[in-house]
């Protein structure tokens, strides 16, 4: 049985620098062999640090930059270029996206109404229908239509603008909404409002979310399943609660233990990882995490670990976790003992 | 189809601070902001006055612009019957300045306007489609940039021969490349903003995106730039006339008048600089107005 | 005097074309030697403005500062320009969110650090370079001797942040101001920088004022915490007390709105309705009252002096009733 949304082998290399023949001299391997699936009505979280390819993945799904390779299916229907696939325009009616920068993602010269009604109009709705739709959606995202519909983006606060962006994404009745760091730029008190709103809308419109964020706590709170990306690759995927309680990949474990403490007595005493994430232009060989991995062995530098099934719907790309690799099933991973306040 | 609980929700989320602000349209906001800037208002008033005088010149001018009296040559400013004096052929300066404004303003504004239309379209195309379209358009404009604007205008109108039409054509050609370049750079910047992606994601085609989302964001910036070019264009036009490449005597035009009065500079210096003063005032007003416009159109977040 | 920083009744007003912005009102701060104070607040709460006032970094002709600021026994608001530049960098230094702003892109990192040392201590270039090397070692930059000759753009984000800390600490300041220094960093790098700052503070015996919007970051570094809202400090006290038993409704709301690990997805976040106030008028009443679930009519009257105990302060007239009224039984997992 295939999942509702299935992504297989998504890949994108960005050429940088050109020689005199116009051939790229280097490539950034932004996204490499990314596959995931999610069921209708679920939220799939994608976490990772900057440069891990999570936002590029979102743009590839929407075909905002065309993928080099990959297959996207919704309900078994494939989209994109190629035989037996529906065009990308059909995909865009089923999948929409909310961006991080609430100001840049609204046209400053258009009123709120015009921005929201734009989608329905180009998809064949009459002016009147589109306008009604805009008013209705504004109401549903918690903004009084009479008060807001004639306003311009600069007259709104960040939280209000992001509500408008959500309304705009919902305007052409998508089934899947990609939220690319959609709440990351908001203040905490406003972020909570928007997260609550997203939960309500999901139930009301039977939506499926792809929730992309660098904030592990928020991802855990909203997601059913989570995938962790590192330098363009998926290193771990699986149900959120299981992954957060027993992270299988050393990188996931490091990310979790890098979270700031919630009580002064739990303050960290040492950082789980040294150094910065490497440059995606020349990623390390083998397992891309091996230069920073506290458990790396010689083979990690040579062989790329496959994304292996470790049961319970979980997958992990780590040699130590491949069944039959000879490594103990559960190996102690980075833990930072709570210490008395220094 | 609004249900009560949802409306209550709407009220809750609407914040207190900004609710009192009445919403205005974009241009209304720009206008309001501009009207609070005294310099812009003064400049705009002067320009409106000059345009009105130029249009109404045949009705309000005291004399004929081409008829002079040899006995009244080079009268000083303030002479009875000739408040601004007379030129070297005894023609009334006030009349000639009024008529000269028609030509000068026309030659200052029309080429920029045409260049604005053509240059913006080229820049939009180059910026939005990128790739080889961009290379073709921008490299062609680079060729024009290799020559100083004055030289280029002289060369083109020199090749085409003197005359009003030819010199305007030359000026238009001179101003297309800089406008196209500004339009291209703004378009490239706007194209990378998220709302263009959002529009693409909702299924819009390139033409719709350019029309609805890119055009109005690019227009404003290029428009400001173009208003600042009007002053340059007026000076260039005056220069062409001064060199005998623009309009021909006895037509009144400020640049040409400056040229013919050049020999009288020691006899009647104040009368001789009057056309230059007009050119100076008009271009300064256009420049200051363009500055004010830039300030007013820059909406804060 | 055992307080290295003393701020009394600080008000900062900006003159803009649209009128005055009352960015900071009646702020009082005390910072003991060797301690860290976190200024916690959302955007527009006045936390950065307060901190920049300590160095008088605001454009003078557009800013009106009243009250008093004493740093290391000196009256900052009374200093002349020359004394001020002696103070900046030597007694009091600052690290920013974006290290590229602190460094000049066309000079080598080592030379920029050396130059600061030469200017403040009047030493030779060689001595300055030696100090630069020493500082680069202090902030744990790998192969520091080589990095002295690197340009800022040749360093990775985390390393640039470390180099900026080296620059700020080069003259051994007594007070370090940190303006969201880890906000732009990735999670695994953020914790490294936080730990580094804590370590250096202990080593140098500095006092630190740390501006952040992130509750977790504040907990990691701070001894004392001051929560700002609408240009005022609404609550202040030792970090463990404020974070486990917040008194002010805003602090309670902020903690309730923060997503913490292992939260049940079924529970709704306790959000604060509305948005922060505009500061175009002097707000004399409680700025939080329009969003406060506990607000009554008297909350819209001018604020009386704050409730003060030995260690803690909160600016809420309904404090006795409100202090225990937490949105959840326990804000933080114990």
pLDDT for res C19: 81
Task: Quote the domain boundaries for residue C116.
Answer: 100-172
User: What is the CATH classification number for the domain harbouring C225?
Assistant: 3.40.50.300
C320 in the same domain as C186? yes
Q: What is the mean pLDDT of chain A?
A: 86
A271 touches chain C (CB under 8 A): yes
Query: Which residue matches tokens 């005055």?
Result: C20
pLDDT at C237: 93
Residue A339 clears pLDDT 50, i.e. is over it: no
> Do C275 and C229 fall into the same domain?
yes
Range of the structural domain that residue B89 is part of? 47-65+74-297
Q: Does the structure show a pLDDT above 60 at B5?
A: no
Residue A27 pLDDT grade (very low, low, confident, very high; cuts 50, 70, 90): confident
Q: Do C49 and C185 belong to one domain? A: yes
| Chains contacting C (3 or more CB pairs within 8 Å) | A, B
Q: What is the pLDDT of residue C325?
A: 57
Mean pLDDT, range C108-128, rounded to an integer: 90
Long-range Cβ contacts of A279-286 (<8 Å, 24+ apart): A279/A51, A279/C156, A280/A28, A280/A29, A280/A30, A280/A51, A280/A53, A280/A231, A280/A232, A281/A16, A281/A26, A281/A27, A281/A28, A282/A26, A283/A29, A283/A231, A283/A232
Q: In A75-219, at which residue ranges do the beta strands (DSSP E only) sit? A: 77-79, 95-98, 176-180, 208-213
Decide if pLDDT at B76 tops 80. Answer: no
How many domains does chain B divide into?
1
Residues of A in contact with C219 (CB under 8 A): 260-264, 267
Interchain contact A128–B (C-beta under 8 A):
no
pLDDT number for residue A156: 87
Q: Which of B11, B17, B298 to mutate to test the interface with C (most CBs of C within 10 A)?
A: B17
B12 domain-assigned: no
C104 and C248 both lie in a single domain: no
| Percent of residues, chain A, with pLDDT higher than 90 | 44
Q: Which of C148, C172, C196 is the last residue of a domain?
A: C172
Please tell me the pTM assigned to this model. 0.84
H/E run at residue A169: helix A158-170
Q: How far is B6 from chain C (nearest CA, A)?
A: 15
pLDDT at C208: 93
One domain, residues C286 and C323 = yes
- CB of A143 closer than 8 Å to CB of B13: yes
Is residue C104 located within the same domain as residue C189?
no
We report the CATH number of the domain holding residue A119 as 3.40.50.300
In a domain, B20, yes or no: no
Whether the per-residue pLDDT at B6 is higher than 50: the answer is no
| Interface contact B14-A99, CB threshold 8 A | no
B261 pLDDT above the threshold of 70: yes
In terms of domains, do A224 and A256 share one? no
The residue of C191, C254, C258 whose CB has the most chain A CBs within 10 angstroms, and thus the best one to mutate to test that interface, is C191
State which residue of chain A sits closest to B217, comparing Cα positions. Answer: A109
Average pLDDT over residues B26-50: 86
- Tens of pLDDT, residues A28-66: 888 989 999 999 999 999 999 888 889 999 999 998 888
What was the ipTM of the complex prediction?
0.85
Count of domains for chain A: 2
Q: Give A268's contacts in chain C (Cβ within 8 Å).
A: 191, 194-195, 220
Residues A298 and A256 in one domain: yes
| One domain, residues C305 and C217 | yes
The C-alpha of B15 sits at a distance from chain A's nearest C-alpha, in angstroms, of 9
Indicate the residue of B10, B15, B195 with minimum beta-carbon distance to A104.
Answer: B195
* pLDDT tops 90 at residue B115: yes
Binning pLDDT at 50, 70 and 90, where does residue B3 land?
very low
Q: Among residues of chain C, what percentage have pLDDT more than 70?
A: 96
pLDDT recorded at residue A170? 94
In the listed set C122, C143, C172, which residue is the last one of a domain according to the structure? Answer: C172
Question: Which of C172, C194, C221 is the last residue in one of the domains?
Answer: C172
What tokens were used for B198? 């959002």
pLDDT 10s digits, B116-146: 999 999 999 999 888 888 899 999 998 888 8
pLDDT at A111 over 60: yes
Structure confidence at residue A229 (pLDDT): 94
- Alpha-carbon distances, residue A132 vs A126, A157, A249, B99 (angstroms): 10, 24, 49, 56
CB A255 within 8 A of CB A52: no
Any idea of the CA torsion for A295, A301, A303, A305, to the nearest 10 degrees?
40
Residues in contact with C98: Cβ distance below 8 Å, sequence separation at least 6, in sequence order: C184
Q: Which of C188, C262, C268 sits opposite A273 (nearest CB)?
A: C188
Let me know whether C329 and C232 are in one domain. yes
Do C273 and B13 make contact, defined as CB atoms within 8 angstroms? yes
A145–B10 CB contact, under 8 Å: yes
The pair of structure tokens assigned to B202 is: 């909702």
- Given CB atoms, is B64 within the 8 Å cutoff of chain A? no
pLDDT per residue as tens digits for the range A71-96: 899 988 888 877 778 888 888 889 99
Contact list in C for residue B14 (CB cut-off 8 A) is 274
B15, closest residue in chain C (CA to CA) = C274
Torsions phi, psi for A238 (to 5 deg): 160, 180
Average pLDDT over residues C91-118: 88
pLDDT digits (tens, 9 = 90+) for C125-139: 999 999 999 999 989
What is the pLDDT of chain C when averaged over all its residues?
86
What's the half-sphere exposure (Cβ side, CA atoms, 13 Å) at C78? 8
Q: Do C188 and A258 touch (CB under 8 A)?
A: yes
CB contact under 8 A, A216 and C265: no
Instruction: Answer yes or no: are the C-beta atoms of C171 and C86 closer than 8 Å.
Output: no
Whether A184 and A284 share a structural domain: no
Are A111 and A145 part of one and the same domain?
yes
Show the domain range for A268.
246-342
pLDDT (0 to 100) of residue A334: 44
Contact A68/B at CB under 8 A: no
The answer, yes or no, to whether residue B12 has pLDDT greater than 50, is no
Counting residues of chain A whose pLDDT is more than 70, the rounded percentage is 93
For residue A315, is pLDDT > 60? Answer: yes
Q: How many CB atoms lie within 10 A of CB C258?
A: 22
Residue A281 domain-assigned (yes or no): yes
The residue with tokens 């999948």 is A95
CB-CB contact of B276 with B93 (8 Å): no
- DSSP tag of A264: G
Give B142 to chain C, closest Cα distance, Å.
30
Inform me whether the pLDDT recorded for C84 exceeds 60.
yes
Cβ contact C158–A261 (<8 Å): no
Choose the weakest-confidence range: B157-171, B198-212, B285-299.
B285-299
- Please tell me if residue B195 touches chain A, with a CB cutoff of 8 Å: yes
Are C62 and C132 found together in one domain? no
DSSP result, C216-234: HHHHHH-SEEEEEETTEEE
Provide mean pLDDT across the span B167-185: 92
> Does residue A238 sit within a domain?
no
Nearest CA in chain B to C281: B17
Residue C1 has pLDDT above 70, yes or no: no
Do A217 and A270 lie in a common domain? no
Asked whether residue C203 carries a pLDDT value surpassing 50, the answer given is yes
> Which pLDDT score is estimated for C87?
86
**Do residues B232 and B284 lie in contact, with contact meaning Cβ atoms separated by under 8 Å?**
no
Confirm whether B162 is domain-assigned.
yes
Which of the four pLDDT bands, split at 50, 70 and 90, describes residue C300? Answer: confident
Domain count of chain C? 2
- Do both C33 and C81 map to the same domain? yes
Q: Is residue B254 part of a domain?
A: yes
Beta partners for residue B79, in sequence order: B82
Query: Cβ of B23 and A152 within 8 Å?
Result: yes
The Cα of A158 is separated from the nearest Cα of chain B by a number of Å equal to 10
Q: What was the pLDDT predicted at A206?
A: 93
CATH number reported for the structural domain that contains residue B201 in this entry:
1.10.3720.10
Chain B interface includes C43 (CB < 8 A): no
From first CA to last CA, the distance across chain C in angstroms is 37
Give me the mean pLDDT over the A284-305 stretch.
Answer: 87
At C101 the pLDDT is 80
| Model confidence at C38: pLDDT above 90 | yes
Q: Do A225 and A261 have their domain in common? A: no
Share of chain C above pLDDT 90, in %: 29
Report CA dihedral (B244, B245, B250, B254) to the nearest 10 degrees.
-90
Task: Calculate mean pLDDT across residues C71-93.
Answer: 87
Q: What is the mean pLDDT of residues A247-263?
A: 88
Residues of chain A with C-beta less than 8 angstroms from the C-beta of B14: 142-144, 147-148, 160
Q: How confident is the model at residue A327 (pLDDT cuts 50, 70, 90)?
A: low
Instruction: List the alpha helices (DSSP H) in C139-209.
Output: 144-147, 157-169, 187-204
- With cut-offs at 50, 70 and 90, classify the pLDDT of residue A203: very high
Which A residues 168-187 touch C at CB under 8 Å? 187
Best of A143, A228, A260 to mutate (most C CBs within 10 Å, chain C): A260
Is the domain of A45 the same as that of A113? yes
If asked whether residues C158 and C194 sit together in one domain, one would say no
Of A203, A229, A255, at which residue does a domain stop?
A: A229
Residue A236 maps to a domain: no
């Amino acid at each position: 049985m295939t999942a509702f949304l299935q992504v297989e082998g998504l890949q994108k290399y960005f050429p940088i620098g050109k020689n005199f023949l116009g051939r790229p001299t280097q490539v950034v391997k932004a996204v490499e062999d990314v596959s995931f699936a999610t069921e209708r009505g679920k939220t799939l979280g994608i976490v990772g640090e900057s440069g891990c390819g999570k936002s590029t993945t979102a743009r590839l799904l929407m075909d905002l930059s065309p993928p080099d390779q990959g297959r996207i299916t919704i309900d078994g229907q494939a989209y994109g270029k190629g035989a037996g696939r529906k065009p990308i325009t059909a995909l865009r009616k089923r999948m929409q996206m909310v961006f991080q920068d609430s100001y840049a993602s609204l046209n400053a010269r258009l009123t709120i109404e015009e921005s929201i009604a734009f989608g329905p109009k180009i998809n064949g709705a009459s002016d009147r229908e589109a306008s009604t739709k805009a008013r209705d959606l504004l109401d549903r995202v918690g903004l009084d239509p009479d008060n807001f519909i004639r306003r311009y983006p600069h007259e709104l606060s960040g939280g209000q603008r992001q509500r408008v962006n959500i309304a705009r994404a919902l305007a052409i009745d998508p089934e899947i909404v990609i939220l690319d760091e959609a709440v990351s730029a908001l203040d905490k008190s406003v972020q909570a409002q928007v997260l609550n709103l997203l939960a309500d809308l999901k139930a009301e419109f039977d939506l499926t979310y792809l929730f992309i964020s660098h904030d592990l706590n928020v991802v855990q709170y909203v997601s059913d399943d989570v995938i962790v990306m590192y330098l363009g690759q998926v290193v771990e995927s699986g149900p959120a609660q299981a992954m957060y309680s027993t992270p299988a990949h050393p990188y996931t474990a490091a990310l979790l233990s890098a979270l700031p403490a919630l009580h002064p007595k739990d303050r960290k005493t040492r950082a789980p990882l040294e150094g910065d994430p490497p440059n995606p232009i020349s990623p390390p060989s083998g397992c891309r995490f091996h230069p920073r991995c506290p458990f790396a062995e010689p083979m990690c530098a040579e062989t790329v670990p496959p994304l292996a099934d470790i049961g319970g719907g979980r997958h992990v790309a780590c040699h130590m976790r491949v069944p039959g690799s000879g490594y103990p099933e559960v190996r102690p991973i980075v833990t930072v003992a709570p210490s008395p306040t220094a | 189809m609004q249900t009560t609980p949802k409306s209550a929700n709407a009220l809750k989320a609407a914040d207190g601070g900004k609710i009192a602000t009445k919403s205005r349209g974009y241009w209304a906001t720009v206008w309001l902001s501009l009207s609070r800037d005294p310099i812009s208002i003064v400049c705009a008033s002067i320009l409106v006055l000059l345009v009105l005088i130029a249009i109404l010149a045949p009705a309000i001018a005291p004399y004929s612009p081409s008829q002079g009296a040899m006995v009244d040559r080079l009268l000083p400013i303030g002479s009875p019957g000739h408040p601004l004096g007379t030129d070297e052929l005894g023609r009334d300066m006030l009349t000639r300045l009024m008529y000269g404004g028609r030509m000068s303003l026309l030659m200052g504004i029309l080429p920029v306007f045409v260049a604005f239309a053509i240059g913006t379209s080229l820049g939009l195309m180059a910026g939005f489609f990128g790739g080889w379209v961009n290379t073709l358009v921008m490299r062609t404009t680079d060729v024009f940039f290799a020559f100083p604007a004055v030289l280029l205008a002289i060369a083109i109108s020199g090749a085409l021969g003197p005359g009003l039409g030819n010199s305007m054509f030359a000026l238009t050609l001179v101003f297309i490349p800089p406008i196209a370049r500004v339009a291209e750079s703004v378009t490239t910047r706007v194209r990378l903003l998220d709302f263009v992606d959002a529009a693409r994601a909702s299924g819009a085609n390139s033409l719709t995106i350019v029309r609805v989302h890119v055009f109005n964001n690019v227009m404003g910036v290029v428009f400001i730039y173009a208003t600042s070019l009007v002053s340059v264009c007026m000076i260039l036009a005056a220069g062409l006339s001064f060199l005998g490449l623009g309009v021909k005597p006895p037509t009144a035009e400020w640049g040409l008048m400056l040229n013919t009065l050049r020999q009288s500079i020691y006899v009647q210096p104040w009368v001789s600089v009057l056309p230059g003063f007009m050119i100076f005032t008009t271009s300064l007003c256009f420049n200051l107005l363009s500055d004010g416009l830039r300030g007013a159109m820059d909406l804060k977040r | 005097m055992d307080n290295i920083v003393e701020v009394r009744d600080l008000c900062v007003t900006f003159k803009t074309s649209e009128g005055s912005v009352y960015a900071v009102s009646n702020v009082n701060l005390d910072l003991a030697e060797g301690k860290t104070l976190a200024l916690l607040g959302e955007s527009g709460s006045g936390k950065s403005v307060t901190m920049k006032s300590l160095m008088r970094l605001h454009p003078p002709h557009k800013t009106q500062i009243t009250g008093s600021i004493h740093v290391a026994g000196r009256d900052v608001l009374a200093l002349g320009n020359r004394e001020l530049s002696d103070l900046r960098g030597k007694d009091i230094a600052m690290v920013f969110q974006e290290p590229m702003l602190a460094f000049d892109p066309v000079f080598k990192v080592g030379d920029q650090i050396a130059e600061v040392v030469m200017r403040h201590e009047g030493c030779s270039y060689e001595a300055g370079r030696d100090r630069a090397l020493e500082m680069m070692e202090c902030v744990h930059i790998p192969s520091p001797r080589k990095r002295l000759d690197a340009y800022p753009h040749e360093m990775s984000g985390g390393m640039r942040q470390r180099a900026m800390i080296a620059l700020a600490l080069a003259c051994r300041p007594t007070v370090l101001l940190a303006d969201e220094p880890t906000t732009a960093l990735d999670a695994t790098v953020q914790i490294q920088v936080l730990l580094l700052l804590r370590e250096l503070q202990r080593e140098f015996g500095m006092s630190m004022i740390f501006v952040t919007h992130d509750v977790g970051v504040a907990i990691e570094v701070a001894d004392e915490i001051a929560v700002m809202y609408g240009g005022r400090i609404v609550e202040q006290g030792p970090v463990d007390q404020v974070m486990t038993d917040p008194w002010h409704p805003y602090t309670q709301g902020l903690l309730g709105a923060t997503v913490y690990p292992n939260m049940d997805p079924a529970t709704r976040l306790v959000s604060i309705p509305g948005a922060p106030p505009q500061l175009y008028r002097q707000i004399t009443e409680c700025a939080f009252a329009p969003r406060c679930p506990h607000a009554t009519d008297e909350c819209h009257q001018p604020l009386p002096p704050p409730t003060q105990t030995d260690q803690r302060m909160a600016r809420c007239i309904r404090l006795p009733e409100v202090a225990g009224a937490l949105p959840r039984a326990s804000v933080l997992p114990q």
